[in-house]
Chain A
């Protein structure tokens, strides 16, 4: 079955520390990959996306993700997090079918 896996349900980090949120998908064909962020009491917002081209994609607020076809991964990274980055992060993908499949989410908690 097609799936998007986020192994870490929660990631606690201190402010200004680096962070990596992991995402793996199950597909051997071309995929489109996304990271969405959900701040408290809000809907999901697109953070970044990979459609084609450069395997490293960046967001405007310092996050980046790298598409790794051999490892079927699309991990999200930030070299130095802020308190305001506290949120739930969802990895999503269009795999073989035309349905957008979401992972279960990773809650990033940034402590001062």
Chain B
């Protein structure tokens, strides 16, 4: 167990469905992240939250809607997705707020494998 737990591990959904991915960290970290991992592409940063406040939205389409109710939980709400959104969605957390102070080593969850039909 890495300290960052993601559920569900696998999700298959149709383009008209609404679903949510959940991430929980037990490390006392202050920052949480969503990344998208697609084959043969670099990891794409989607959202960053520091102390529950969104500090980064990397031009993500509105069909992805993040929610961070507290520093330990992060959700990604999914609505009317496209087949090209199929990917592994990784949640991560860090002690620092996403900057390059050097202390911001990211701890990742195992990911949620999303398939959009």
Q: Which residues of A contact B (CB under 8 A)?
A: 4, 9, 32, 34, 36, 41-46, 49, 51-52, 90, 94, 97-105
Contact = CB atoms under 8 A, between A and B. Distances in A.
Contacts of B110: 41-43
B4 interface: yes
B102 interface: yes
B100 interface: yes
Contacts of B105: 34, 46, 49
Interface stretch (B35-43, B59-67, B68-76): B35-43
Contacts of A99: 45, 56, 98
Given A32-B102, A51-B102, A94-B100, A44 B42 contact: no
Given A101-B42, A102-B42, A102-B43, A44 B108 contact: yes
A38 B53 CA distance: 29
A99 B47 CA distance: 11
Chain B interface residue bracket vs A: 20 to 34
The B contact surface, by secondary structure, is: loop
A104 B90 CA distance: 15
13 contacts: A43-B92, A43-B108, A43-B109, A44-B106, A44-B108, A45-B108, A46-B106, A46-B107, A94-B104, A97-B100, A98-B100, A102-B43, A105-B42
Contacts of A52: 102
Nearest to B9: A41
A98 B96 CA distance: 11
Contacts of A105: 42
Given A43-B108, A46-B105, A98 B99 contact: yes
CB-CB nearest 9 A-B residue pairs: A43-B108, A94-B100, A98-B99, A102-B43, A44-B108, A51-B102, A43-B110, A102-B42, A98-B100
B8 to A, nearest CB: 14
Nearest to A95: B100
Given A46-B105, A49-B105, A103 B100 contact: no
